[in-house]
Structure 1
Amino acid sequence: MHEPFYLPLDTSDPEKGERFHATFSTTGPWFSDAQHMGPPSALMMRAFERCAPSRPDAPPLQLARMTIEVLGPVPAGEVTVRASVERPGRTIEMLAAEMEAGGRTVLRARAWRLAITDTTEAAVGEAAPLPGPEGAVLSTGRPEGWLPGYLDALEWRWLRKGSMGDTGPGTAWARLRVPVVEGEEPTPLQRLVAAADSANGVAAPLDLREWLFVNTELTVHLHRPPRGEWAGIDAATVIGPTGTGTVSATLFDLDGQVGRITQELTVRPR
Protein backbone atom coordinates (compact mmCIF):
# COMPACT_ATOMS: atom_id res chain seq x y z
CA MET A 1 0.00 0.00 0.00
CA HIS A 2 1.30 3.46 -0.92
CA GLU A 3 1.02 6.46 1.37
CA PRO A 4 -0.90 9.58 0.36
CA PHE A 5 1.34 12.17 -1.25
CA TYR A 6 0.95 14.56 1.70
CA LEU A 7 0.08 14.22 5.38
CA PRO A 8 -1.46 17.41 6.83
CA LEU A 9 0.49 18.96 9.71
CA ASP A 10 -1.33 22.29 10.12
CA THR A 11 -4.03 23.43 7.68
CA SER A 12 -5.88 25.73 10.07
CA ASP A 13 -4.96 29.03 8.38
CA PRO A 14 -4.52 28.80 4.57
CA GLU A 15 -3.67 32.53 4.32
CA LYS A 16 -0.60 32.12 6.56
CA GLY A 17 0.31 28.84 4.93
CA GLU A 18 -0.63 25.18 5.21
CA ARG A 19 2.02 22.70 6.42
CA PHE A 20 2.33 19.16 5.09
CA HIS A 21 4.70 16.21 5.27
CA ALA A 22 5.64 14.98 1.79
CA THR A 23 5.83 11.18 1.93
CA PHE A 24 7.95 8.67 0.04
CA SER A 25 5.12 8.46 -2.53
CA THR A 26 6.11 11.93 -3.80
CA THR A 27 9.72 11.04 -4.63
CA GLY A 28 10.67 10.91 -8.29
CA PRO A 29 12.77 8.65 -10.51
CA TRP A 30 15.73 11.03 -10.60
CA PHE A 31 16.77 11.40 -6.93
CA SER A 32 15.63 9.41 -3.88
CA ASP A 33 15.34 12.47 -1.60
CA ALA A 34 13.57 14.85 -4.00
CA GLN A 35 9.93 15.02 -5.01
CA HIS A 36 8.70 14.44 -8.53
CA MET A 37 7.00 17.64 -9.65
CA GLY A 38 3.63 15.94 -10.13
CA PRO A 39 2.62 15.86 -6.44
CA PRO A 40 3.77 19.43 -5.62
CA SER A 41 1.94 20.68 -8.72
CA ALA A 42 -1.24 18.98 -7.53
CA LEU A 43 -0.81 20.52 -4.07
CA MET A 44 -0.41 23.96 -5.63
CA MET A 45 -3.64 23.40 -7.61
CA ARG A 46 -5.36 22.49 -4.34
CA ALA A 47 -4.19 25.81 -2.88
CA PHE A 48 -5.56 27.70 -5.89
CA GLU A 49 -8.88 25.85 -5.68
CA ARG A 50 -9.22 26.79 -1.99
CA CYS A 51 -8.38 30.47 -2.59
CA ALA A 52 -11.56 32.53 -2.06
CA PRO A 53 -12.69 34.97 -4.79
CA SER A 54 -11.77 38.59 -4.17
CA ARG A 55 -15.34 39.85 -4.66
CA PRO A 56 -18.53 38.50 -3.09
CA ASP A 57 -20.53 39.41 -6.23
CA ALA A 58 -18.25 37.37 -8.54
CA PRO A 59 -19.91 34.82 -10.83
CA PRO A 60 -18.66 31.21 -10.71
CA LEU A 61 -14.97 31.15 -11.67
CA GLN A 62 -12.72 28.46 -13.14
CA LEU A 63 -8.97 27.91 -13.23
CA ALA A 64 -7.93 28.24 -16.86
CA ARG A 65 -4.13 28.65 -16.96
CA MET A 66 -1.52 27.68 -14.39
CA THR A 67 2.27 28.09 -14.55
CA ILE A 68 4.54 26.58 -11.92
CA GLU A 69 8.16 27.73 -11.81
CA VAL A 70 10.66 25.30 -10.26
CA LEU A 71 13.23 27.27 -8.25
CA GLY A 72 15.19 24.22 -7.15
CA PRO A 73 14.85 20.60 -6.02
CA VAL A 74 11.78 20.05 -3.83
CA PRO A 75 12.87 17.82 -0.93
CA ALA A 76 10.65 15.19 0.65
CA GLY A 77 9.61 16.06 4.19
CA GLU A 78 7.93 19.18 5.50
CA VAL A 79 6.60 21.79 3.06
CA THR A 80 4.46 24.90 3.46
CA VAL A 81 2.04 26.16 0.79
CA ARG A 82 0.19 29.47 0.60
CA ALA A 83 -1.94 31.13 -2.09
CA SER A 84 -3.63 34.51 -2.53
CA VAL A 85 -5.40 36.67 -5.08
CA GLU A 86 -2.75 38.82 -6.74
CA ARG A 87 -4.93 40.64 -9.29
CA PRO A 88 -8.53 41.01 -8.01
CA GLY A 89 -11.46 41.19 -10.39
CA ARG A 90 -15.09 40.24 -10.76
CA THR A 91 -14.72 38.02 -13.85
CA ILE A 92 -10.91 37.74 -14.22
CA GLU A 93 -8.48 37.14 -11.39
CA MET A 94 -4.80 36.24 -11.14
CA LEU A 95 -3.74 34.04 -8.24
CA ALA A 96 -0.26 33.55 -6.81
CA ALA A 97 1.09 30.66 -4.76
CA GLU A 98 4.39 29.44 -3.41
CA MET A 99 5.84 26.40 -1.68
CA GLU A 100 8.59 26.56 0.94
CA ALA A 101 10.81 23.71 2.10
CA GLY A 102 13.94 23.72 4.23
CA GLY A 103 13.75 27.47 4.79
CA ARG A 104 13.64 28.43 1.10
CA THR A 105 11.04 28.97 -1.59
CA VAL A 106 11.16 26.01 -3.99
CA LEU A 107 8.12 26.72 -6.20
CA ARG A 108 6.27 29.82 -7.35
CA ALA A 109 3.06 29.70 -9.36
CA ARG A 110 0.54 31.95 -11.07
CA ALA A 111 -2.95 31.09 -12.26
CA TRP A 112 -5.67 32.88 -14.19
CA ARG A 113 -9.19 32.31 -12.87
CA LEU A 114 -11.92 33.25 -15.34
CA ALA A 115 -15.70 33.54 -15.24
CA ILE A 116 -17.77 30.55 -16.33
CA THR A 117 -20.15 31.36 -19.19
CA ASP A 118 -22.16 29.21 -21.61
CA THR A 119 -20.26 28.95 -24.91
CA THR A 120 -21.58 25.52 -25.88
CA GLU A 121 -22.80 26.75 -29.27
CA ALA A 122 -19.38 28.27 -30.07
CA ALA A 123 -17.25 25.31 -28.94
CA VAL A 124 -14.80 24.23 -31.66
CA GLY A 125 -11.32 22.81 -32.24
CA GLU A 126 -11.01 19.91 -29.80
CA ALA A 127 -8.78 16.98 -30.75
CA ALA A 128 -10.46 13.62 -31.26
CA PRO A 129 -10.90 11.67 -28.00
CA LEU A 130 -8.31 9.06 -27.11
CA PRO A 131 -9.20 5.36 -27.04
CA GLY A 132 -10.12 4.52 -23.46
CA PRO A 133 -7.79 3.08 -20.82
CA GLU A 134 -9.61 -0.25 -20.75
CA GLY A 135 -7.93 -1.25 -24.02
CA ALA A 136 -4.49 0.17 -23.18
CA VAL A 137 -1.43 -1.79 -22.00
CA LEU A 138 -1.03 -1.79 -18.22
CA SER A 139 2.46 -0.81 -17.07
CA THR A 140 3.68 -3.48 -14.63
CA GLY A 141 7.06 -2.15 -13.51
CA ARG A 142 9.63 0.61 -13.62
CA PRO A 143 12.39 0.82 -16.22
CA GLU A 144 15.89 -0.12 -15.09
CA GLY A 145 17.51 2.73 -13.18
CA TRP A 146 14.22 4.52 -12.40
CA LEU A 147 13.60 4.95 -8.65
CA PRO A 148 10.38 3.99 -6.82
CA GLY A 149 7.90 6.42 -5.28
CA TYR A 150 5.73 8.63 -7.44
CA LEU A 151 5.73 6.33 -10.48
CA ASP A 152 4.29 3.51 -8.34
CA ALA A 153 1.61 5.78 -6.85
CA LEU A 154 -0.10 6.06 -10.26
CA GLU A 155 -1.61 3.45 -12.52
CA TRP A 156 -0.21 3.78 -16.04
CA ARG A 157 -1.86 2.39 -19.19
CA TRP A 158 -0.14 2.86 -22.55
CA LEU A 159 -1.67 3.52 -25.96
CA ARG A 160 1.67 4.32 -27.63
CA LYS A 161 5.00 2.96 -26.35
CA GLY A 162 5.03 0.41 -23.56
CA SER A 163 6.64 2.11 -20.57
CA MET A 164 8.33 5.27 -19.33
CA GLY A 165 11.69 3.80 -20.33
CA ASP A 166 10.88 3.69 -24.05
CA THR A 167 12.15 6.72 -25.93
CA GLY A 168 10.15 8.85 -28.34
CA PRO A 169 6.65 10.37 -28.37
CA GLY A 170 4.15 8.60 -26.14
CA THR A 171 0.45 8.40 -25.29
CA ALA A 172 -0.74 7.12 -21.93
CA TRP A 173 -3.58 7.14 -19.44
CA ALA A 174 -2.81 7.64 -15.75
CA ARG A 175 -4.78 7.77 -12.53
CA LEU A 176 -3.81 8.25 -8.91
CA ARG A 177 -3.65 5.26 -6.60
CA VAL A 178 -3.31 7.56 -3.57
CA PRO A 179 -4.90 10.79 -2.30
CA VAL A 180 -3.05 14.06 -2.82
CA VAL A 181 -3.75 14.94 0.84
CA GLU A 182 -4.59 12.29 3.41
CA GLY A 183 -8.31 12.11 4.13
CA GLU A 184 -9.36 14.09 1.03
CA GLU A 185 -10.75 13.00 -2.32
CA PRO A 186 -8.58 14.62 -5.03
CA THR A 187 -10.41 16.90 -7.44
CA PRO A 188 -10.23 16.14 -11.17
CA LEU A 189 -7.87 19.11 -11.62
CA GLN A 190 -5.51 17.85 -8.91
CA ARG A 191 -5.56 14.40 -10.55
CA LEU A 192 -4.88 15.86 -14.00
CA VAL A 193 -1.96 18.04 -12.93
CA ALA A 194 -0.38 15.30 -10.81
CA ALA A 195 -0.15 13.15 -13.95
CA ALA A 196 0.47 15.90 -16.51
CA ASP A 197 3.88 16.83 -15.13
CA SER A 198 5.00 13.37 -16.31
CA ALA A 199 4.71 14.44 -19.94
CA ASN A 200 8.51 14.59 -20.24
CA GLY A 201 8.59 10.96 -19.10
CA VAL A 202 5.71 9.88 -21.33
CA ALA A 203 7.70 11.38 -24.22
CA ALA A 204 11.14 10.52 -22.81
CA PRO A 205 13.57 11.57 -25.55
CA LEU A 206 16.74 10.00 -24.12
CA ASP A 207 17.94 7.12 -21.95
CA LEU A 208 17.58 8.20 -18.31
CA ARG A 209 20.67 6.19 -17.36
CA GLU A 210 22.80 8.39 -19.61
CA TRP A 211 20.98 11.76 -19.63
CA LEU A 212 19.16 14.16 -17.32
CA PHE A 213 16.23 16.01 -18.88
CA VAL A 214 14.52 17.88 -16.06
CA ASN A 215 11.69 20.38 -16.52
CA THR A 216 12.15 23.84 -15.04
CA GLU A 217 8.47 24.76 -15.25
CA LEU A 218 5.01 23.42 -16.08
CA THR A 219 2.34 25.46 -17.89
CA VAL A 220 -1.21 24.13 -18.18
CA HIS A 221 -3.87 25.67 -20.43
CA LEU A 222 -7.46 24.40 -20.08
CA HIS A 223 -10.42 25.08 -22.34
CA ARG A 224 -12.80 23.28 -19.97
CA PRO A 225 -12.58 21.80 -16.47
CA PRO A 226 -11.45 18.15 -16.37
CA ARG A 227 -13.78 15.41 -15.16
CA GLY A 228 -13.20 12.05 -13.54
CA GLU A 229 -10.12 10.21 -12.27
CA TRP A 230 -8.28 9.41 -15.53
CA ALA A 231 -5.80 11.76 -17.24
CA GLY A 232 -4.77 11.13 -20.84
CA ILE A 233 -1.40 12.48 -22.02
CA ASP A 234 -0.34 12.59 -25.69
CA ALA A 235 3.18 14.01 -25.57
CA ALA A 236 6.22 14.75 -27.74
CA THR A 237 9.65 16.24 -26.97
CA VAL A 238 12.10 18.34 -28.98
CA ILE A 239 15.75 18.51 -27.87
CA GLY A 240 17.82 21.38 -29.20
CA PRO A 241 21.59 21.49 -29.79
CA THR A 242 22.45 23.75 -26.80
CA GLY A 243 21.24 21.86 -23.74
CA THR A 244 17.55 22.75 -23.71
CA GLY A 245 14.38 21.10 -24.90
CA THR A 246 10.61 21.50 -24.93
CA VAL A 247 7.78 19.12 -24.18
CA SER A 248 4.25 19.67 -25.47
CA ALA A 249 1.26 17.48 -24.69
CA THR A 250 -2.46 17.36 -25.29
CA LEU A 251 -4.46 16.49 -22.17
CA PHE A 252 -7.63 14.39 -22.08
CA ASP A 253 -10.23 12.95 -19.76
CA LEU A 254 -12.60 10.16 -20.72
CA ASP A 255 -14.90 12.68 -22.44
CA GLY A 256 -12.21 14.16 -24.72
CA GLN A 257 -9.59 16.90 -24.80
CA VAL A 258 -9.42 19.30 -21.86
CA GLY A 259 -6.31 21.34 -22.66
CA ARG A 260 -2.57 21.38 -23.33
CA ILE A 261 0.67 21.66 -21.40
CA THR A 262 4.23 22.73 -22.13
CA GLN A 263 7.48 22.18 -20.23
CA GLU A 264 10.95 23.65 -20.69
CA LEU A 265 13.76 21.15 -20.15
CA THR A 266 17.37 21.48 -19.12
CA VAL A 267 19.31 18.63 -20.77
CA ARG A 268 22.79 17.34 -19.92
CA PRO A 269 24.73 14.08 -19.77
CA ARG A 270 24.84 12.29 -16.42
Structure 2
Amino acid sequence: MPTDREPGAFYLARGQDRYRPTKHTAGPWDPNAQHFGPPSALLVRALEDLPTDRERQLARVTVEILGPAPLAELTVRARVERPGRSVELLAAELAADGRTVARATAWRITASDTAAVAAGAAEPIPLPADSTAAWPPGFHGGYIDAMEWRVVAGGLDRPGPATVWVRQRVALVEGERPTSLQRLFAMADSGSGVSNRLDPRQWLFINSELTVHLHRLPSGSWTGMEADTIIGPSGLGTASTRLYDASGQIGTGAQALLVRTR
Protein backbone atom coordinates (compact mmCIF):
# COMPACT_ATOMS: atom_id res chain seq x y z
CA MET A 1 0.00 0.00 0.00
CA PRO A 2 1.19 3.57 -0.60
CA THR A 3 2.80 5.40 2.27
CA ASP A 4 2.07 8.97 3.40
CA ARG A 5 5.18 10.24 1.59
CA GLU A 6 4.76 9.40 -2.07
CA PRO A 7 7.33 9.94 -4.82
CA GLY A 8 6.39 11.76 -8.00
CA ALA A 9 5.54 8.60 -9.94
CA PHE A 10 2.69 6.17 -10.50
CA TYR A 11 4.91 3.17 -9.73
CA LEU A 12 8.05 2.17 -7.87
CA ALA A 13 10.17 -0.52 -9.55
CA ARG A 14 10.88 -3.47 -7.26
CA GLY A 15 12.94 -5.63 -9.64
CA GLN A 16 12.07 -8.86 -11.46
CA ASP A 17 9.20 -7.18 -13.34
CA ARG A 18 7.49 -6.11 -10.10
CA TYR A 19 6.05 -2.64 -9.43
CA ARG A 20 4.41 -1.04 -6.40
CA PRO A 21 1.66 1.47 -7.16
CA THR A 22 1.53 4.79 -5.35
CA LYS A 23 -1.55 6.73 -4.32
CA HIS A 24 -1.36 8.61 -7.64
CA THR A 25 -2.84 5.54 -9.40
CA ALA A 26 -6.07 5.50 -7.33
CA GLY A 27 -9.20 5.82 -9.48
CA PRO A 28 -12.13 8.20 -9.04
CA TRP A 29 -14.65 5.52 -8.06
CA ASP A 30 -12.70 3.58 -5.43
CA PRO A 31 -9.55 4.80 -3.64
CA ASN A 32 -8.46 1.16 -3.25
CA ALA A 33 -8.48 0.38 -6.99
CA GLN A 34 -6.34 1.90 -9.72
CA HIS A 35 -7.58 3.99 -12.60
CA PHE A 36 -6.66 1.88 -15.62
CA GLY A 37 -4.61 4.61 -17.29
CA PRO A 38 -1.40 3.85 -15.35
CA PRO A 39 -1.73 0.03 -15.70
CA SER A 40 -2.32 0.45 -19.46
CA ALA A 41 0.84 2.56 -19.70
CA LEU A 42 2.78 -0.04 -17.70
CA LEU A 43 1.68 -2.75 -20.17
CA VAL A 44 2.76 -0.57 -23.10
CA ARG A 45 6.13 0.00 -21.41
CA ALA A 46 6.63 -3.79 -21.31
CA LEU A 47 5.62 -4.11 -24.97
CA GLU A 48 8.04 -1.34 -25.97
CA ASP A 49 10.87 -3.14 -24.14
CA LEU A 50 10.57 -6.28 -26.27
CA PRO A 51 13.70 -6.52 -28.45
CA THR A 52 13.54 -6.11 -32.22
CA ASP A 53 16.11 -6.37 -35.01
CA ARG A 54 14.71 -3.45 -37.06
CA GLU A 55 12.75 -0.22 -36.70
CA ARG A 56 9.19 -1.14 -35.75
CA GLN A 57 6.21 0.71 -34.31
CA LEU A 58 3.07 -0.21 -32.39
CA ALA A 59 0.05 0.18 -34.69
CA ARG A 60 -2.75 -1.15 -32.47
CA VAL A 61 -2.89 -1.95 -28.76
CA THR A 62 -5.86 -3.55 -27.00
CA VAL A 63 -5.98 -3.77 -23.22
CA GLU A 64 -8.49 -6.33 -21.93
CA ILE A 65 -9.51 -5.46 -18.35
CA LEU A 66 -10.13 -8.72 -16.48
CA GLY A 67 -10.77 -7.21 -13.06
CA PRO A 68 -9.90 -4.30 -10.77
CA ALA A 69 -6.20 -3.49 -10.37
CA PRO A 70 -5.67 -3.18 -6.59
CA LEU A 71 -3.22 -0.80 -4.95
CA ALA A 72 -0.90 -3.77 -4.41
CA GLU A 73 2.30 -5.00 -6.04
CA LEU A 74 1.94 -5.82 -9.73
CA THR A 75 3.91 -8.16 -11.97
CA VAL A 76 4.21 -7.35 -15.68
CA ARG A 77 5.51 -9.70 -18.36
CA ALA A 78 5.57 -9.42 -22.16
CA ARG A 79 6.45 -11.67 -25.09
CA VAL A 80 6.40 -11.86 -28.88
CA GLU A 81 3.32 -13.97 -29.56
CA ARG A 82 3.83 -14.33 -33.31
CA PRO A 83 7.06 -13.10 -34.91
CA GLY A 84 7.20 -11.78 -38.47
CA ARG A 85 9.42 -9.78 -40.79
CA SER A 86 6.86 -7.03 -41.49
CA VAL A 87 4.13 -7.55 -38.88
CA GLU A 88 4.32 -9.26 -35.50
CA LEU A 89 1.89 -9.84 -32.65
CA LEU A 90 2.95 -8.96 -29.10
CA ALA A 91 1.30 -9.83 -25.78
CA ALA A 92 1.65 -8.71 -22.17
CA GLU A 93 0.01 -9.57 -18.85
CA LEU A 94 -0.48 -7.68 -15.60
CA ALA A 95 -0.98 -9.70 -12.41
CA ALA A 96 -1.64 -8.93 -8.74
CA ASP A 97 -1.46 -11.56 -5.98
CA GLY A 98 -1.22 -14.30 -8.61
CA ARG A 99 -4.37 -13.10 -10.42
CA THR A 100 -4.21 -11.71 -13.95
CA VAL A 101 -6.00 -8.36 -13.93
CA ALA A 102 -5.30 -7.28 -17.54
CA ARG A 103 -3.94 -8.58 -20.81
CA ALA A 104 -2.67 -6.54 -23.75
CA THR A 105 -2.12 -7.50 -27.36
CA ALA A 106 -0.42 -5.30 -29.92
CA TRP A 107 0.46 -5.37 -33.60
CA ARG A 108 4.00 -4.15 -34.20
CA ILE A 109 4.72 -3.13 -37.80
CA THR A 110 8.01 -2.49 -39.58
CA ALA A 111 8.50 1.21 -40.30
CA SER A 112 8.73 2.62 -43.84
CA ASP A 113 8.75 6.10 -45.37
CA THR A 114 5.20 7.17 -46.32
CA ALA A 115 5.57 10.88 -45.53
CA ALA A 116 4.91 11.89 -49.14
CA VAL A 117 1.46 10.24 -49.13
CA ALA A 118 0.37 10.84 -45.51
CA ALA A 119 -3.27 12.05 -45.46
CA GLY A 120 -6.63 11.86 -43.69
CA ALA A 121 -5.74 12.90 -40.13
CA ALA A 122 -7.91 15.49 -38.39
CA GLU A 123 -6.59 19.02 -38.04
CA PRO A 124 -5.06 20.22 -34.72
CA ILE A 125 -7.35 21.28 -31.91
CA PRO A 126 -6.58 24.45 -29.92
CA LEU A 127 -4.68 24.31 -26.65
CA PRO A 128 -6.08 26.84 -24.15
CA ALA A 129 -3.54 28.93 -22.27
CA ASP A 130 -5.17 27.93 -19.01
CA SER A 131 -8.45 26.52 -17.75
CA THR A 132 -9.92 25.02 -14.62
CA ALA A 133 -11.33 21.50 -14.94
CA ALA A 134 -14.05 20.54 -12.46
CA TRP A 135 -15.08 16.90 -11.95
CA PRO A 136 -18.47 15.51 -10.80
CA PRO A 137 -19.12 15.38 -7.04
CA GLY A 138 -17.78 12.29 -5.30
CA PHE A 139 -14.79 11.70 -7.57
CA HIS A 140 -11.67 10.79 -5.57
CA GLY A 141 -8.28 12.45 -6.16
CA GLY A 142 -5.35 10.10 -6.88
CA TYR A 143 -5.07 9.72 -10.64
CA ILE A 144 -7.22 12.78 -11.38
CA ASP A 145 -4.89 15.01 -9.33
CA ALA A 146 -1.79 13.38 -10.88
CA MET A 147 -2.87 14.68 -14.31
CA GLU A 148 -3.31 18.26 -15.50
CA TRP A 149 -6.61 18.81 -17.36
CA ARG A 150 -7.47 21.68 -19.70
CA VAL A 151 -10.93 21.89 -21.26
CA VAL A 152 -11.41 23.09 -24.84
CA ALA A 153 -15.11 22.21 -25.29
CA GLY A 154 -17.78 20.64 -23.11
CA GLY A 155 -17.00 20.04 -19.45
CA LEU A 156 -15.77 17.24 -17.21
CA ASP A 157 -18.49 18.00 -14.66
CA ARG A 158 -21.41 17.94 -17.10
CA PRO A 159 -22.74 15.24 -19.44
CA GLY A 160 -21.93 14.94 -23.11
CA PRO A 161 -18.98 15.11 -25.50
CA ALA A 162 -15.84 16.92 -24.39
CA THR A 163 -12.53 18.03 -25.83
CA VAL A 164 -9.68 18.24 -23.35
CA TRP A 165 -5.89 18.33 -23.16
CA VAL A 166 -4.14 16.19 -20.54
CA ARG A 167 -0.58 16.16 -19.20
CA GLN A 168 1.07 13.92 -16.60
CA ARG A 169 2.27 15.64 -13.44
CA VAL A 170 4.23 12.55 -12.32
CA ALA A 171 6.44 9.93 -13.98
CA LEU A 172 5.15 6.47 -14.87
CA VAL A 173 7.99 4.64 -13.08
CA GLU A 174 10.13 6.46 -10.53
CA GLY A 175 13.45 7.64 -11.99
CA GLU A 176 12.36 7.20 -15.61
CA ARG A 177 11.19 9.63 -18.26
CA PRO A 178 8.05 8.17 -19.86
CA THR A 179 8.00 7.62 -23.61
CA SER A 180 5.43 9.38 -25.76
CA LEU A 181 3.35 6.18 -26.03
CA GLN A 182 3.46 5.61 -22.29
CA ARG A 183 2.13 9.15 -21.77
CA LEU A 184 -0.60 8.52 -24.34
CA PHE A 185 -1.81 5.31 -22.71
CA ALA A 186 -1.70 6.84 -19.24
CA MET A 187 -4.64 9.01 -20.31
CA ALA A 188 -6.35 7.20 -23.24
CA ASP A 189 -8.52 5.19 -20.82
CA SER A 190 -10.12 8.48 -19.70
CA GLY A 191 -12.21 8.89 -22.87
CA SER A 192 -15.33 7.39 -21.31
CA GLY A 193 -14.90 9.55 -18.21
CA VAL A 194 -14.52 12.91 -19.91
CA SER A 195 -17.48 12.24 -22.26
CA ASN A 196 -19.87 10.52 -19.86
CA ARG A 197 -23.58 11.26 -20.27
CA LEU A 198 -24.82 9.96 -16.91
CA ASP A 199 -24.76 11.00 -13.26
CA PRO A 200 -21.97 8.83 -11.76
CA ARG A 201 -23.77 8.86 -8.40
CA GLN A 202 -26.66 6.93 -9.98
CA TRP A 203 -25.05 5.06 -12.88
CA LEU A 204 -22.07 2.84 -13.58
CA PHE A 205 -20.39 3.05 -17.00
CA ILE A 206 -17.42 0.71 -16.74
CA ASN A 207 -15.15 -0.08 -19.69
CA SER A 208 -14.10 -3.70 -20.16
CA GLU A 209 -11.34 -2.84 -22.64
CA LEU A 210 -9.40 -0.09 -24.35
CA THR A 211 -8.33 -0.25 -28.00
CA VAL A 212 -6.05 2.38 -29.53
CA HIS A 213 -5.13 2.56 -33.22
CA LEU A 214 -2.15 4.75 -34.11
CA HIS A 215 -1.00 6.21 -37.41
CA ARG A 216 2.05 7.97 -35.95
CA LEU A 217 3.92 8.46 -32.69
CA PRO A 218 2.82 11.40 -30.53
CA SER A 219 5.19 14.20 -29.60
CA GLY A 220 5.25 16.65 -26.70
CA SER A 221 3.96 16.26 -23.16
CA TRP A 222 0.31 17.19 -23.86
CA THR A 223 -2.25 14.75 -25.30
CA GLY A 224 -5.56 15.97 -26.68
CA MET A 225 -8.81 14.01 -26.42
CA GLU A 226 -11.97 14.63 -28.45
CA ALA A 227 -14.34 12.13 -26.84
CA ASP A 228 -17.97 11.12 -27.21
CA THR A 229 -20.04 8.34 -25.64
CA ILE A 230 -23.00 6.51 -27.15
CA ILE A 231 -25.34 4.67 -24.76
CA GLY A 232 -27.58 1.95 -26.17
CA PRO A 233 -30.98 0.73 -24.88
CA SER A 234 -29.82 -2.56 -23.32
CA GLY A 235 -26.88 -1.77 -21.02
CA LEU A 236 -24.17 -1.32 -23.64
CA GLY A 237 -22.20 1.77 -24.53
CA THR A 238 -19.23 2.83 -26.63
CA ALA A 239 -16.80 5.66 -25.96
CA SER A 240 -14.93 6.88 -29.04
CA THR A 241 -11.96 9.25 -28.80
CA ARG A 242 -9.80 11.07 -31.30
CA LEU A 243 -6.28 11.43 -29.91
CA TYR A 244 -4.05 14.43 -30.68
CA ASP A 245 -0.73 16.11 -30.13
CA ALA A 246 -0.03 19.75 -30.99
CA SER A 247 0.47 18.89 -34.69
CA GLY A 248 -2.87 17.10 -35.15
CA GLN A 249 -4.48 13.69 -34.82
CA ILE A 250 -2.24 10.76 -33.88
CA GLY A 251 -4.83 8.00 -33.58
CA THR A 252 -8.21 6.87 -32.27
CA GLY A 253 -9.37 5.11 -29.11
CA ALA A 254 -12.48 3.08 -28.30
CA GLN A 255 -13.92 1.49 -25.16
CA ALA A 256 -16.76 -1.00 -24.74
CA LEU A 257 -18.92 0.02 -21.77
CA LEU A 258 -21.10 -1.83 -19.31
CA VAL A 259 -23.92 0.58 -18.33
CA ARG A 260 -26.28 0.00 -15.40
CA THR A 261 -27.78 1.64 -12.36
CA ARG A 262 -25.90 1.52 -9.08
Give TM class, smaller chain: over 0.9
CA displacement 1:72-119 (0-9 Å, x = unmatched): 111111000000100101221110000001220000110001011110
Q: State the alpha-carbon separation in 1 of the partners of residues 208 and 228 from structure 2.
A: 17
Q: State the alpha-carbon separation in 2 of the partners of residues 108 and 123 from structure 1.
A: 32
Q: Is the 8 A contact 2:41 2:172 kept in 1?
A: yes
Match of 1:72 in 2: 67
TM-score scaled by structure 2? 0.95
Match of residue 150, structure 2, among 145, 157, 163: 157
Q: State the alpha-carbon separation in 1 of the partners of residues 34 and 242 from structure 2.
A: 24
4+ long deviations beyond 6 Å: none
TM-score scaled by structure 1? 0.92
Output aligned runs, 1:1-270, within 5 Å: 3-11=8-16, 18-53=17-52, 56=53, 59-134=54-129, 137-139=131-133, 141-162=134-155, 164-270=156-262
Q: State the alpha-carbon separation in 2 of the partners of residues 226 and 137 from structure 1.
A: 23
Q: Is the 8 A contact 2:7 2:174 kept in 1?
A: no
Q: Is the 8 A contact 1:93 1:112 kept in 2?
A: yes
Q: Is the 8 A contact 2:222 2:245 kept in 1?
A: yes
Q: State the alpha-carbon separation in 1 of the partners of residues 177 and 127 from structure 2.
A: 23
Q: State the alpha-carbon separation in 2 of the partners of residues 32 and 2 from structure 1.
A: 18
Q: State the alpha-carbon separation in 2 of the partners of residues 47 and 214 from structure 1.
A: 25
* Structure 1 gap segments, 5+ residues each: 12-17
Letter in 2 for 1:30: W
Match of 1:14 in 2: none
Number of aligned residues: 257
* Structure 2 gap segments, 5+ residues each: 1-5
Q: State the alpha-carbon separation in 2 of the partners of residues 2 and 156 from structure 1.
A: 21
RMSD between superposed Cα atoms in Å: 1.2
Shift of residue 186 of structure 1?
Answer: 0.7
Identity of aligned residues (%): 53
Shift of residue 52 of structure 1?
Answer: 0.8
